[in-house]
Amino acid sequence: MTKPPDEFTDLPVSRQRKLQLRALKVGLCSGCFKQPVFRAERCKSCYAKLRKRNARYRLQNRRKYLLWLQRWRAANPDYAREYYRKHKVANRR
Ligand SMILES: [Zn+2]
């Protein structure tokens, strides 16, 4: 048994994306098909999940950057010292 075709059937996107588009069309959360936040496309809990995941990625990027900075300072000690003296940076992290 197949579902009747609609305007999303022949779109060149994934099944998941089609589900999301159908949910948005009928005004439901595109993550979990519950009642969304007013004038938004996702519900409160889905936004909380997204925020949590983004925080994790931000932390990862922050750690990567600090590691890179540490290595760069080790590779260019004179340049780094001169930079901090010139710009009067107190907090070097
Ligand atoms: Zn949701």
For the segment 44-63, what is each residue's pLDDT rounded down to a tens digit? 999 999 999 999 999 999 99
Which are the contacts of 40, defined by CB distance < 8 A and separation ≥ 6? 47
Q: Find out whether 33 and 23 touch, Cβ atoms under 8 Å.
A: yes
| CA–CA dist 56, 52 (Å, integer) | 6
Average pLDDT over all residues of the chain = 89
Q: Residue 42's pLDDT is what? A: 92
In the reported structure, the alpha carbon of residue 13 is separated from the centroid of ligand 1 by a whole-number distance in angstroms of 21
In the reported structure, the alpha carbon of residue 48 is separated from the centroid of ligand 1 by a whole-number distance in angstroms of 9
Report yes or no on whether pTM surpasses 0.75: no
Kindly tell me if the per-residue pLDDT of 74 is higher than 70: yes
In the reported structure, the alpha carbon of residue 74 is separated from the centroid of ligand 1 by a whole-number distance in angstroms of 46
Element (H, E) at 85: helix 77-87
In the reported structure, the alpha carbon of residue 6 is separated from the centroid of ligand 1 by a whole-number distance in angstroms of 23
pLDDT class of 68 with cuts at 50, 70, 90: very high
Q: Find out whether 70 and 78 touch, Cβ atoms under 8 Å.
A: no
In the reported structure, the alpha carbon of residue 57 is separated from the centroid of ligand 1 by a whole-number distance in angstroms of 20
